[in-house]
Amino acid sequence: MTHRWPLRVYYEDVDLAGIVYYANYLRFIERARSEMVREAGIDQTAMRDAGLVFAVTRVEADYMRPARYDDALTVETAVARTTPARLTLDQTIQRDGTALFRARVTIVCMDLGGRPRPLPDAVRGLGG
């Protein structure tokens, strides 16, 4: 399953040269992951109320080309690997089919005290 989420680059996302500030790519892929989980029917508010939250434990990122003010971008998110304890996602930000940024993100589930917990079945199901 590949999830696609469109976004527009706004003035607040760029530096003085009109290029997306590097840390904002991480914000963009976070939003896309949240939308993918929401569209899969996983209610993160209900999870938190039940004492479980997601945490990113690793990000490997490659910045290949700059995105600029007013660009229409697409974030593609695909499950690379699922285990009982981890979800690894490949995320790509594209403009007109050209990859600008790629990241591999590892996510775990933990309780509100920070102790690891198995991923909920619905999350493991994202892997197919």
| Catalytic annotation, residues | 15
CA pair distance 75, 91, nearest whole angstrom:
7
CA pair distance 3, 121, nearest whole angstrom:
19
Percentages helix, strand, coil for the chain (3-state, rounded to 5) are 25, 45, 25
